[in-house]
Amino acid sequence: IAPRLMAAGADRDLVYRIDVESVDISTGMSMPIELTMPRDCDLVGAEIKRLQVAMLALDPLMSTIDRKIDTYNDRDMRTFLEPLGRLADDTGCMITGLAHFSKRADADPLNLVTGSRAFTAFVRSVIAIARDPDDKHCIISQVKNNLGHLDLPNLTYVVQSATIETDEGDCKVGRLHFTGESEKSVGDILADAGN
């Protein structure tokens, strides 16, 4: 991740990684464990406030969901999503989650996110990405926005190779390069694909 941030020109002093440890009170021994939501919401919220974090990226989103939650059940998913919504409201921090499309045929990107429909029903904004098979660019479309304009353009980009010097030697990474706008949306690509 660090070389990709460097390629994008990010100020890495403003980027943090969340590591979670479980501490045995009787022995004082700690053991690294996975970040799990909603279990860790309060601790994450305290760090967001302490560091004045503007955006929390859950990548991939599915890996942060408590294993007891059925990700295909709307009611179960609300037990994951509602605490995240409260966390965002309480801290003023934008929370983003990366999710993938399922393999079923559908032209509506909101129906294709793997798991429960609650993922896209609960959130305030959804941005979808798909590769345009006609011109080899990727297209980014806003497919939902409850808080702002719905008429934003579809943007196109390519991923270009970049070499970044690190303390461990040169590292080849992909760097996103915006190339313009497209009349075609992600929904159009999905409809054209038919599967």
Q: Which parts of the chain are beta strand (E)?
A: 20-23, 30-33, 55-58, 94-97, 125-131, 138-145, 154-166, 169-182
In the structure, what pLDDT confidence band is assigned to residue 101 with cuts at 50, 70 and 90? confident
Give the C-alpha separation, 64 to 67, whole Å. 9
pLDDT digits (tens, 9 = 90+) for 29-52: 889 999 999 999 999 999 999 999
The residue among 44, 25, 22, 46 whose CA lies nearest residue 34 is 22
Q: Provide φ and ψ at 82, rounded to 5°.
A: -65, -45
Q: Quick one: pLDDT at residue 194?
A: 65
Confirm if 179 and 137 have CB atoms less than 8 A apart: yes
Region 117-137 average pLDDT: 90
Per-chain mean pLDDT for the chain? 91
Q: Quick one: pLDDT at residue 24?
A: 86
pTM: 0.85
Q: Quick one: pLDDT at residue 134?
A: 85
pLDDT digits (tens, 9 = 90+) for 137-195: 999 999 999 988 888 999 999 999 999 998 889 999 999 999 999 999 999 998 887 64
Is 1 a residue whose pLDDT tops 70? yes
Region 48-73 average pLDDT: 94
Region 73-100 average pLDDT: 94
